[in-house]
Amino acid sequence: MPLAGGRERRVRTGGVELCVAEWGDPATQPTVVLVHGYPDSKEVWSEVAGRLTERFHVVLYDVRGHGGSTAPRPLRGGFTLEKLTDDFLAVVDAVSPDRPVHLVGHDWGSVQAWEFTTVERTRGRIASFTSMSGPSLDHFGHWIKKRVSRPTPRKVGQLLGQGAKSWYVYLLHTPALPELAWRGPLGKQWPKILRRLEKVPAGGYPTSSLPRDAANGAWLYRDNIRPRLGRPRDDAYAHAPVQLITPLGDAYLSERLYDELEQWAPQLVRRTLP
């Protein structure tokens, strides 16, 4: 579904085609790239994009396997952080080849954007990174190891608390069950659930591709969670300024996950919002 007033293009990368939408002038305005989470598509950013277009060249893209972007074949192994980084670089090379971009990620968009901001091959391509509700899996892995290796009642409580919040992650690792749920009753009911719980108005979001997108996107978890939490990188330092936006009352992520973030992001600004 084209977003109002935007220009759409296709970007090929690693056997998939990404659907990219743009507003504004890349020659005269700084570029901001907004990366959506799970189980979303680029349309989740439509209202935010509308507020930014007067000041920025705004870029949205559907993550591989979501929205107007094609899915890798096979799905297994097609959603690794390395391949998602390939996609990001292909997009920014297409939309802003000569200048670094301001990067914004929410949920899984933020998880993958932490990868973009901490790997060497993206150095110089990112002017800043704004993270919302999605930690680095490497930082999360070290957070867990620190609490397991030196347990105290407080640290054990933090682990148990986050474990309870992550209940859905375990379900997404179950073979076939998430796909059946999303392509069946859950996918049909999701728009009503969003209207009731998140006060999302009926209309252009979520798009009709949601059941397929959510089924495909289960591989974001399967391809990355266990490998990275079990073997987190030791060099996952941000090479761009980071703005961390922490929403109070997040149902899925504890604020404690970010307690030691300064050691990984030397140029860190924190903002806590209701």
Instruction: Count other Cβ atoms within 10 Å, centred on residue 21.
Output: 25
Residues 236, 139: Cα–Cα separation, whole Å: 7
Ranges under pLDDT 70 in the chain: 1-2
Q: Which pLDDT score is estimated for 202? A: 76
pTM of the model: 0.95
| pLDDT tens digits along 40-96 | 999 999 999 999 999 999 999 999 999 999 999 999 999 999 999 999 999 999 999
3-state helix, strand, coil in the chain (%, to 5): 45, 20, 40
pLDDT of residue 267: 97
Q: What is the dihedral of CA 115, 21, 43, 14, to 10 degrees?
A: -40
Q: Provide the Cα torsion 142, 146, 148, 151; round to 10°.
A: -160
Contact 31, 21 (CB under 8 A): no
Domain ranges of the chain: 7-168+214-273
Cα–Cα distance list, 233 to 66, 136, 205, 217, 241 (Å): 27, 10, 36, 23, 20
| 67 within 8 A of 91, measured Cβ to Cβ | no
Interhelix angle 210-230/108-118, nearest 10 degrees: 50
Query: What phi and psi values does residue 273 have, to the nearest 5 degrees?
Result: -130, 150
d(CA 42, CA 206): 10
Quote the pLDDT of residue 32: 98
Other beta carbons less than 10 A from residue 76's beta carbon: 10
Q: Which CATH superfamily is domain 7-168+214-273 in?
A: Alpha/Beta hydrolase fold, catalytic domain (3.40.50.1820)
